[in-house]
Protein backbone atom coordinates (compact mmCIF):
# COMPACT_ATOMS: atom_id res chain seq x y z
CA UNK A 1 0.00 0.00 0.00
CA UNK A 2 1.41 3.29 -1.01
CA UNK A 3 1.70 6.09 1.52
CA UNK A 4 -0.53 9.11 1.07
CA UNK A 5 1.29 12.36 0.46
CA UNK A 6 0.14 14.92 3.01
CA UNK A 7 0.47 18.52 1.91
CA UNK A 8 0.97 20.79 4.86
CA UNK A 9 -0.57 24.24 4.66
CA UNK A 10 1.84 27.08 4.08
CA UNK A 11 2.52 29.42 6.95
CA UNK A 12 0.45 32.60 6.69
CA UNK A 13 2.48 35.64 5.86
CA UNK A 14 0.80 38.98 6.47
CA UNK A 15 1.01 41.22 3.41
CA UNK A 16 3.30 44.19 3.86
CA UNK A 17 1.40 47.38 4.53
CA UNK A 18 1.87 49.92 1.76
CA UNK A 19 3.76 53.09 2.51
CA UNK A 20 1.83 56.36 2.48
CA UNK A 21 3.37 57.18 -0.91
CA UNK A 22 2.21 53.83 -2.34
CA UNK A 23 -1.24 54.18 -0.76
CA UNK A 24 -1.59 57.72 -2.12
CA UNK A 25 -0.64 56.60 -5.64
CA UNK A 26 -3.45 54.03 -5.52
CA UNK A 27 -6.11 56.70 -4.88
CA UNK A 28 -8.04 58.24 -7.74
CA UNK A 29 -7.50 61.87 -8.64
CA UNK A 30 -10.95 62.72 -7.28
CA UNK A 31 -10.21 61.02 -3.94
CA UNK A 32 -6.87 62.79 -3.65
CA UNK A 33 -8.53 66.14 -4.24
CA UNK A 34 -11.22 65.41 -1.62
CA UNK A 35 -8.61 64.37 0.96
CA UNK A 36 -6.57 67.51 0.33
CA UNK A 37 -9.61 69.74 0.84
CA UNK A 38 -10.54 67.86 4.04
CA UNK A 39 -7.00 68.17 5.44
CA UNK A 40 -6.94 71.92 4.73
CA UNK A 41 -10.34 72.37 6.40
CA UNK A 42 -9.28 70.43 9.54
CA UNK A 43 -6.04 72.44 9.79
CA UNK A 44 -8.00 75.69 9.47
CA UNK A 45 -10.39 74.68 12.28
CA UNK A 46 -7.47 73.81 14.58
CA UNK A 47 -5.73 77.10 13.78
CA UNK A 48 -8.88 79.14 14.43
CA UNK A 49 -9.43 77.29 17.72
CA UNK A 50 -5.91 78.14 18.86
CA UNK A 51 -6.31 81.79 17.82
CA UNK A 52 -9.67 82.01 19.61
CA UNK A 53 -8.37 80.43 22.82
CA UNK A 54 -5.21 82.51 23.12
CA UNK A 55 -6.55 85.69 21.56
CA UNK A 56 -10.19 86.00 22.61
CA UNK A 57 -11.31 83.31 25.09
CA UNK A 58 -11.18 84.32 28.74
CA UNK A 59 -11.23 81.38 31.17
CA UNK A 60 -11.15 83.68 34.18
CA UNK A 61 -7.62 82.85 35.32
CA UNK A 62 -5.65 85.78 36.69
CA UNK A 63 -2.47 87.17 35.22
CA UNK A 64 0.49 86.96 37.60
CA UNK A 65 3.41 89.38 37.61
CA UNK A 66 6.31 89.41 40.08
CA UNK A 67 4.61 86.79 42.23
CA UNK A 68 1.34 88.69 42.60
CA UNK A 69 -1.99 88.43 40.81
CA UNK A 70 -2.58 91.48 38.60
CA UNK A 71 -5.52 93.79 39.32
CA UNK A 72 -6.70 92.15 42.53
CA UNK A 73 -8.58 93.96 45.28
CA UNK A 74 -8.06 93.53 49.03
CA UNK A 75 -11.33 91.64 49.40
CA UNK A 76 -10.70 89.15 46.59
CA UNK A 77 -10.60 85.52 47.62
CA UNK A 78 -8.31 83.69 45.20
CA UNK A 79 -8.15 79.94 44.65
CA UNK A 80 -5.37 77.97 42.99
CA UNK A 81 -6.49 75.51 40.28
CA UNK A 82 -4.49 73.74 37.60
CA UNK A 83 -4.80 74.45 33.89
CA UNK A 84 -5.54 78.16 33.68
CA UNK A 85 -4.84 80.07 30.48
CA UNK A 86 -2.94 82.90 32.20
CA UNK A 87 -2.05 81.23 35.51
CA UNK A 88 -3.42 78.72 38.01
CA UNK A 89 -5.18 81.42 40.06
CA UNK A 90 -8.86 82.39 39.90
CA UNK A 91 -10.97 85.08 41.56
CA UNK A 92 -13.41 82.96 43.55
CA UNK A 93 -15.31 85.42 45.74
CA UNK A 94 -15.40 88.86 47.31
CA UNK A 95 -15.08 88.67 51.09
CA UNK A 96 -16.04 91.75 53.07
CA UNK A 97 -15.65 92.20 56.82
CA UNK A 98 -18.74 90.78 58.61
CA UNK A 99 -20.72 93.22 60.75
CA UNK A 100 -19.36 93.23 64.30
CA UNK A 101 -15.96 91.80 63.33
CA UNK A 102 -12.52 93.18 62.53
CA UNK A 103 -9.95 91.79 60.06
CA UNK A 104 -6.90 90.20 61.66
CA UNK A 105 -3.43 89.12 60.54
CA UNK A 106 -3.20 86.31 63.09
CA UNK A 107 -2.27 82.79 61.96
CA UNK A 108 -4.91 80.16 62.53
CA UNK A 109 -3.16 77.00 63.73
CA UNK A 110 -3.08 74.25 61.11
CA UNK A 111 -4.70 76.21 58.29
CA UNK A 112 -2.33 79.09 57.55
CA UNK A 113 -1.53 79.64 53.88
CA UNK A 114 1.90 81.15 54.65
CA UNK A 115 4.50 80.15 52.09
CA UNK A 116 2.09 79.73 49.22
CA UNK A 117 2.95 81.65 46.00
CA UNK A 118 -0.11 83.85 46.50
CA UNK A 119 -0.98 84.04 50.20
CA UNK A 120 -4.73 84.53 50.25
CA UNK A 121 -7.06 83.88 53.15
CA UNK A 122 -9.07 85.93 55.63
CA UNK A 123 -9.24 85.95 59.43
CA UNK A 124 -11.85 87.99 61.30
CA UNK A 125 -12.10 88.45 65.08
CA UNK A 126 -15.26 89.58 66.88
CA UNK A 127 -15.61 92.98 68.46
CA UNK A 128 -16.28 93.06 72.19
CA UNK A 129 -19.74 91.80 73.08
CA UNK A 130 -20.55 90.45 69.61
CA UNK A 131 -19.49 86.82 70.03
CA UNK A 132 -17.24 84.67 72.20
CA UNK A 133 -15.71 82.79 69.24
CA UNK A 134 -12.02 83.47 68.70
CA UNK A 135 -12.08 83.92 64.94
CA UNK A 136 -13.61 83.21 61.55
CA UNK A 137 -11.23 81.75 58.96
CA UNK A 138 -12.08 81.88 55.23
CA UNK A 139 -10.08 80.28 52.41
CA UNK A 140 -10.61 79.13 48.81
CA UNK A 141 -10.32 75.40 48.14
CA UNK A 142 -9.69 73.72 44.77
CA UNK A 143 -12.24 70.94 45.30
CA UNK A 144 -16.02 70.85 45.37
CA UNK A 145 -17.71 71.10 48.77
CA UNK A 146 -18.80 67.47 48.65
CA UNK A 147 -15.38 66.19 47.55
CA UNK A 148 -13.69 68.22 50.26
CA UNK A 149 -15.84 66.70 53.01
CA UNK A 150 -15.19 63.21 51.64
CA UNK A 151 -11.45 63.95 51.72
CA UNK A 152 -11.09 65.39 55.22
CA UNK A 153 -13.92 64.14 57.41
CA UNK A 154 -12.10 60.98 58.54
CA UNK A 155 -9.08 63.11 59.48
CA UNK A 156 -11.23 65.32 61.68
CA UNK A 157 -12.72 62.19 63.24
CA UNK A 158 -9.16 61.38 64.31
CA UNK A 159 -8.71 64.86 65.81
CA UNK A 160 -11.87 64.40 67.83
CA UNK A 161 -11.06 60.87 69.03
CA UNK A 162 -10.85 62.28 72.56
CA UNK A 163 -13.82 64.56 72.05
CA UNK A 164 -16.89 64.78 69.82
CA UNK A 165 -17.71 65.27 66.16
CA UNK A 166 -21.09 65.71 64.52
CA UNK A 167 -22.29 64.02 61.37
CA UNK A 168 -22.05 65.97 58.13
CA UNK A 169 -25.19 67.98 57.44
CA UNK A 170 -26.18 70.25 54.55
CA UNK A 171 -27.97 73.57 54.23
CA UNK A 172 -29.00 75.68 51.26
CA UNK A 173 -27.08 78.76 50.15
CA UNK A 174 -27.45 81.05 47.14
CA UNK A 175 -24.76 78.94 45.42
CA UNK A 176 -25.94 75.43 46.31
CA UNK A 177 -25.85 73.03 49.24
CA UNK A 178 -23.14 73.66 51.81
CA UNK A 179 -21.56 70.80 53.77
CA UNK A 180 -20.84 71.32 57.48
CA UNK A 181 -19.82 69.54 60.68
CA UNK A 182 -18.55 70.50 64.13
CA UNK A 183 -15.78 68.93 66.20
CA UNK A 184 -14.52 69.59 69.72
CA UNK A 185 -11.68 68.03 71.69
CA UNK A 186 -9.18 68.61 74.48
CA UNK A 187 -5.45 67.97 74.41
CA UNK A 188 -2.46 68.42 76.70
CA UNK A 189 -0.40 71.55 76.18
CA UNK A 190 3.08 70.34 75.16
CA UNK A 191 4.69 73.51 76.50
CA UNK A 192 2.88 73.21 79.84
CA UNK A 193 2.59 69.51 80.80
CA UNK A 194 -0.48 68.77 82.88
CA UNK A 195 -2.37 71.72 81.37
CA UNK A 196 -5.27 71.02 79.02
CA UNK A 197 -6.22 73.11 76.00
CA UNK A 198 -9.55 72.95 74.21
CA UNK A 199 -10.67 73.57 70.66
CA UNK A 200 -14.07 73.70 68.98
CA UNK A 201 -14.53 74.36 65.28
CA UNK A 202 -17.48 74.42 62.93
CA UNK A 203 -16.10 73.54 59.49
CA UNK A 204 -18.25 74.54 56.52
CA UNK A 205 -17.62 74.18 52.78
CA UNK A 206 -19.65 76.53 50.59
CA UNK A 207 -20.17 75.70 46.87
CA UNK A 208 -18.89 78.30 44.42
CA UNK A 209 -19.67 79.33 40.86
CA UNK A 210 -16.25 78.04 39.81
CA UNK A 211 -16.17 74.38 38.79
CA UNK A 212 -14.38 72.12 41.29
CA UNK A 213 -13.88 74.87 43.86
CA UNK A 214 -15.47 75.86 47.16
CA UNK A 215 -14.99 78.23 50.08
CA UNK A 216 -13.97 77.03 53.52
CA UNK A 217 -15.49 78.92 56.45
CA UNK A 218 -14.14 77.72 59.78
CA UNK A 219 -15.49 79.17 63.04
CA UNK A 220 -12.95 78.57 65.81
CA UNK A 221 -13.39 78.71 69.59
CA UNK A 222 -10.66 78.02 72.18
CA UNK A 223 -12.27 77.92 75.63
CA UNK A 224 -10.19 77.74 78.80
CA UNK A 225 -12.43 74.95 80.13
CA UNK A 226 -14.23 72.06 78.47
CA UNK A 227 -17.36 74.10 77.88
CA UNK A 228 -18.40 74.42 74.26
CA UNK A 229 -20.80 76.56 72.25
CA UNK A 230 -24.13 75.32 70.91
CA UNK A 231 -24.74 74.59 67.23
CA UNK A 232 -27.07 77.58 67.14
CA UNK A 233 -24.32 79.92 68.34
CA UNK A 234 -21.83 78.58 65.81
CA UNK A 235 -24.35 78.68 62.96
CA UNK A 236 -25.09 82.35 63.69
CA UNK A 237 -21.40 83.13 63.10
CA UNK A 238 -21.38 81.15 59.84
CA UNK A 239 -24.41 83.16 58.69
CA UNK A 240 -22.63 86.42 59.54
CA UNK A 241 -19.66 85.35 57.40
CA UNK A 242 -21.90 84.27 54.53
CA UNK A 243 -23.77 87.57 54.54
CA UNK A 244 -20.52 89.42 53.84
CA UNK A 245 -19.42 87.20 50.93
CA UNK A 246 -20.22 87.34 47.22
CA UNK A 247 -19.28 84.56 44.78
CA UNK A 248 -18.05 85.51 41.32
CA UNK A 249 -18.33 83.48 38.13
CA UNK A 250 -14.82 84.21 36.89
Same domain, 98 and 178: yes
Same domain, 51 and 83: no
* Higher per-residue confidence, 217 vs 47: 217
Number of helices and strands in the chain (H, E): 4, 13
pLDDT of residue 90 exceeding 70, the answer is: yes
pLDDT of residue 73 exceeding 60, the answer is: yes
User: Is 225 contained in some domain?
Assistant: yes
User: Is 241 contained in some domain?
Assistant: yes
CATH number (domain holding residue 234): 3.40.1000
Pinpoint the alpha helices (H) of 160-229. Answer: none
User: Is 234 contained in some domain?
Assistant: yes
132-155 pLDDT, tens per residue? Answer: 999 999 999 999 999 999 999 988
List phi, psi (to 5°) of 78: -110, 140
User: Is 2 contained in some domain?
Assistant: no
Same domain, 105 and 194: yes
117-129 pLDDT, tens per residue? Answer: 466 889 999 999 9
User: Is 158 contained in some domain?
Assistant: yes
User: Is 170 contained in some domain?
Assistant: yes
Among 56-70, 174-188, 208-222, the minimum mean pLDDT is found in: 56-70
pLDDT interval class at 43 (50, 70, 90): low
Same domain, 116 and 235: yes
Q: How many domains does the chain have?
A: 2
User: Is 6 contained in some domain?
Assistant: no
Same domain, 37 and 80: no
pLDDT interval class at 77 (50, 70, 90): very high
DSSP string of 202-216, one letter each residue: EEEEEE-SSTT-EEE
Same domain, 131 and 161: yes
Nearest Cα residue to 205 out of 132, 156, 134: 156
Instruction: Work out the average pLDDT over 166-171.
Output: 95
Same domain, 158 and 108: yes
Q: How far apart are CA 168 and CA 203, in angstroms?
A: 10
Give the contacts of 248 (CB within 8 A, at least 6 positions apart).
91, 92, 93, 94, 209
Same domain, 86 and 189: yes
CB 200 within 8 A of CB 231: no
Domain that holds residue 132: 72-247
Same domain, 37 and 153: no
Same domain, 109 and 200: yes
8-39 pLDDT, tens per residue? Answer: 555 556 667 777 676 667 767 777 677 667 76
pTM of the predicted structure, to 2 decimals? 0.73
Instruction: Work out the average pLDDT over 196-207.
Output: 94
* Higher per-residue confidence, 8 vs 188: 188
Q: How far apart are CA 98 and CA 101, in angstroms?
A: 6
User: Is 13 contained in some domain?
Assistant: no
Partnered with residue 138 across adjacent β-strands are: 122, 217
pLDDT of residue 86 exceeding 70, the answer is: no
Amino acid sequence: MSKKHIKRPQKYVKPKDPTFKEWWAQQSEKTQKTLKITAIAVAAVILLSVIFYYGFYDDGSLKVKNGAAVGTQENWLIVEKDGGKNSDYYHLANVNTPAGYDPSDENVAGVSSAGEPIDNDFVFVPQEGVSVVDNIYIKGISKSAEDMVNSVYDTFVGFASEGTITEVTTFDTAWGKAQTFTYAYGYEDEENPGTMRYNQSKVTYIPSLQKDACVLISVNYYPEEETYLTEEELTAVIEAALSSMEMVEK
